[in-house]
Structure 1
Amino acid sequence: MKRKFLTVFTIASIAFGLTSCKDKAQEANTSEAEPAAVSESVSQKYVTDVAQSSIEWKGFKPTGTHNGTVSIDTGVFQTNDGQLQSGTFLIDMNTIKVLDGDEKMQASLESHLKGTVEDKKDHFFNVNQFPTGAFEITGVESMAAGKTNLSGNLSLKGMKHNISFPVTITNEGDKMTISSEAFTIDRTKWNINYGSKSVFDDLGDKFINDDIELKINIVAFKKA
């Protein structure tokens, strides 16, 4: 009976693992930082509407997930003949927000992620030293089914790497939206090492996955 129970448990665990892998967002292609894209001489400028723009995030650990948002600070994009050419947006790391759990847990985790407690400032993002992240476009390539492969240098915690991921770009009058599919990055490449079993070998099951899932949503309006 015990052996039968273990067999069933093992099969269930494998099935859960396969389901988790299937549902996991694809990791963005990551490489060394590249030169920023330069617009053609004839271009139209769009400015980010920060009230309607944000980045959704999700973190994973053996006992579950946490999710939330972080706000876009400012952003400027250039288009040519309606096509996105170049641009940059800043990320306000002081606006990291946790959306799951009760208010007490949210406040505690937000403080932990921001690193605003002195003895925990290096645990995650250390926003006092690194209050701003940034993304600068390095390439825009058309894909099938109306998708666009967007490449750019992502700067977090003083580190910069180039990432590529699919987005949908729409234009409605003076409004442009840039919405990514959910994708993941390996946080340790940006020196965000807290709780990583690939960095520390004594964590047991007290680790936090290296993958962070992101989904970028930007609304920008044409500047006269």
Structure 2
Amino acid sequence: MKNFKSIALALVVVLSTLSVTAQTKKINTAGSTINWTGKKVTGQHEGTINIKDGALVFKGKKLVGGTFNVDMNSIVVTDLKAGQGKEKLEGHLKADDFFGTDKFAMATLVFKKVVTKSPNLYTVTGDLTIKGITKPVTFDLATTANTATTNVVIDRTKYDIKYGSGSFFDSLGDKAINDDFTLAVALKF
């Protein structure tokens, strides 16, 4: 009977260490950044956009989930100065030709699958919603105790953003804009 109690106690200890509860870490929006880059035949433009809110979910030290909301009205162009086309480009990016922020003020990302690639490096597949259209997106995310970073490449045409796309319009010449844009994301939590 004494051996049975010892085995039962050992089993309880082992099981209690295996059942780690999930911990949600809220994103520090003031300390986090999203830098975007959009390229065209004759160059590129760069800027920022703000995270409204978000969280990463961990079990122990392992990433298992996440959700984010991005304020599409916060799009800023950083490679141009006032009076050099900055306001015009920001207005165009917010217009229906691009992100239609009057109707679609928020973009969202919901993690659907997280696969450990190596310690603190994950391949994430999530549902990204832009302009009310949801499509899967996959990217690698590196984490530390209180940060996460990634570069995400997004094909804008999947979200009905076709303005200046050589995939949809002929004879654009040097006015063509690449379908893909890149987001460099640095999160603090």
What interval of TM-score do these two structures reach, taking the shorter chain for normalisation? Answer: 0.7 to 0.9
Deviation at 1:114, TM superposition (A): 0.8
Task: Note the 1:15-26 alignment, pairs <5 A.
Answer: none
- CA deviations on 1:51-103 (whole Å, 9 max, x unpaired) are 01221110111111100110000112221112121121100001001110221
- CA deviations on 1:152-183 (whole Å, 9 max, x unpaired) are 11110111111111111111xxxx21100x34
User: Counterpart in 2 of 1:22?
Assistant: none
Q: Per the alignment, do residues 138 and 99 of structure 1 end up closer, same or farther by CA in structure 2, a change over 3 Å counting?
A: same
- CA deviations on 1:107-166 (whole Å, 9 max, x unpaired) are 111111011xxxxxx210010000000000111111147521121111101111111111
- Tell me the secondary structure at the aligned position of residue 112 of structure 1: helix
User: Counterpart in 2 of 1:207?
Assistant: 176
User: Counterpart in 1 of 2:98?
Assistant: 124
Give the partner amino acid of 1:74. D
User: Counterpart in 2 of 1:16?
Assistant: none
- Tell me the secondary structure at the aligned position of residue 134 of structure 2: strand
Q: In angstroms, what is the RMSD of aligned CA positions?
A: 1.7
The CA distance in 2 between the partners of 1:218 and 1:106, in whole Å, is 26
User: Counterpart in 1 of 2:28?
Assistant: 49
User: Counterpart in 2 of 1:35?
Assistant: none
Unaligned residue ranges in structure 1 (runs of 5+): 1-39, 116-121
Q: Per the alignment, do residues 82 and 154 of structure 1 end up closer, same or farther by CA in structure 2, a change over 3 Å counting?
A: same
Give the partner amino acid of 1:106. K
Say yes or no: does 1:133 pair with 2:107: yes
1:193 is aligned, of 162, 166, 183, to: 162
The structure that is strand-richer by fraction is 2
Q: Give the TM-score taking structure 1 as reference length.
A: 0.71
Unaligned residue ranges in structure 2 (runs of 5+): 1-18
The CA distance in 2 between the partners of 1:184 and 1:47, in whole Å, is 24
The CA distance in 2 between the partners of 1:183 and 1:81, in whole Å, is 26
The CA distance in 1 between the partners of 2:166 and 2:28, in whole Å, is 38
Give the partner amino acid of 1:113. L
1:179 is aligned, of 149, 170, 175, to: 149
Say yes or no: does 1:148 pair with 2:122: yes
- Tell me the secondary structure at the aligned position of residue 94 of structure 1: strand
The CA distance in 1 between the partners of 2:66 and 2:93, in whole Å, is 28
- Tell me the secondary structure at the aligned position of residue 199 of structure 1: coil
2:156–2:181 contact (8 Å) kept in structure 1: yes
The CA distance in 2 between the partners of 1:125 and 1:143, in whole Å, is 33
- Tell me the secondary structure at the aligned position of residue 97 of structure 2: coil
Max radius of gyration: which structure? 2
The CA distance in 2 between the partners of 1:145 and 1:78, in whole Å, is 16
Task: Note the 1:77-96 alignment, pairs <5 A.
Answer: 77-96=56-75
2:56–2:66 contact (8 Å) kept in structure 1: yes
The CA distance in 1 between the partners of 2:109 and 2:187, in whole Å, is 12
- Tell me the secondary structure at the aligned position of residue 185 of structure 1: strand
Work out the percentage of aligned pairs sharing the same amino acid.
36
User: Counterpart in 2 of 1:70?
Assistant: 49
The CA distance in 2 between the partners of 1:162 and 1:136, in whole Å, is 10
What number of residue pairs does the alignment pair up? 170
